[in-house]
Structure 1
Amino acid sequence: MATQIAYKDVEIGTELPAAVFPVTRDTLVRYAGASGDFNPIHWNEKFALEVGLPDVIAHGMFTMAEAVRVVTDWVGDPGAVVEYGVRFTRPVVVPNDDKGAVIEVSAKIGDKLDDNRVRVDLTATSEGKKVLGMSRAVVQLA
């Protein structure tokens, strides 16, 4: 499915629809099964505490994937994302309760590039603290 968003119709500073992604311990176990990453810091509270973490934490790649969903939902075609990178600044702590944690993501057009591409700057937070830094995607538009 090709993107229907035209480069000429996008302005620097335009905000993409923000999203909130819930994360529970169940989510982490399912992600571990899908990714093959069974590091105990993602499911074993005792182990996470022993290695100095505040609690079980979400996988970095899971956090990164949830954040870019704001971009893929906006553009309508995951293949339109031609580049994506982040810096992990803080883990998403996932308590063992009915609520878990949430990852809140906002994004805006940061720059218009050559060849109908735009740079999208993302902000991802959990508990009001930034969990990804320098989070940017380059998207190919029509």
Structure 2
Amino acid sequence: MTAKVAYADVEVGAELPARSFPVDRATLVRYAGASRDFNPIHWNERFAKEVGLPDVIAHGMFTMAQAARVVTDWAGDPGAVVDYGVRFTKPVVVPDDAEGALIEVSAKVGAKLDDAERTVRVDLTVTSEGRKVLGMSRAVVRLA
């Protein structure tokens, strides 16, 4: 874990370190077991296509969690995130090949919210294959 970020040192517009998260079918199976979400759209290509999807897709909560890692790593404390929300805009399609998919996350400090509480809003941009997969992705973070 990194050192905790001090509220006084943060400027609006400051960029957080961008990250990329690979995801393959094996990752989806492990996540299904951990989350107990065994919906076949996350592992069965035939079923996913029968219901109108282009292929197997990553769990929305998995995608959301990967994006949140950018914020928690930057803040230095997962408990610093006091609110986090997204809108699911496009699925992360995970082909059955050697590469899988890549979730790319960038973020910046969008606002200082409360000096007394030392909270900031972090705005995230989350894409896969050049398409935004999470919209209105924002976290409220209490800093040191």
Short-chain TM bin: over 0.9
In the alignment, what sits opposite 1:30?
30
TM-fit CA distance, 1:4? 2.4
Task: State the match for 1:59 in structure 2.
Answer: 59
- Counterpart for residue 127 of structure 2: 125
Distance (whole Å) between structure 2 residues aligned to residue 29 and residue 125 of structure 1: 22
- Counterparts of 1:33-52 in structure 2 under 5 Å? 33-52=33-52
Aligned counterparts of 1:77 and 1:52: Cα–Cα separation in 2 = 40
Aligned to 1:81: 81
**Structure 1 residue runs of 4 or more that deviate by more than 2 Å after TM superposition:** none
- Deviation of 1:107 (Å): 0.2
Percent identity (aligned): 79
Offset of residue 5 of structure 1: 1.3
The TM-score normalised by the length of structure 2 is 0.96
Cα distance in 1 for partners of 2:133, 2:81 equals: 21
Which ranges of structure 2 fall in alignment gaps of 5 or more residues? Answer: none
Q: Deviations over 1:64-90 (max 9, x none)?
A: 000010001111100000000000000
CA distance in structure 2 between the aligned counterparts of 1:26 and 1:19, rounded to whole angstroms: 20
AA in 1 matched with 2:136? M
Deviations 1:24-62 (A, max 9, x none): 000000000000000000000000000000000000000
CA distance in 1 between partners of 2:62 and 2:126 (Å): 12
Query: Which secondary structure does the structure 2 equivalent of 1:99 belong to?
Result: coil
Instruction: State the distance in 2 between where 1:128 and 1:48 align.
Output: 22
Residue aligning to 1:15: 15
SS at match of 1:113: strand
TM-score (norm 1): 0.98
Name the structure 2 match of 1:5: 5
Q: Aligned equivalents of 2:67 and 2:4: distance in 1?
A: 21
* Structure 2 Cα separation of the partners of residues 51 and 132 of structure 1: 21
Q: Return the alpha-carbon distance in structure 2 between the equivalents of residues 74 and 5 of structure 1.
A: 7
Give the count of matched residue pairs.
142
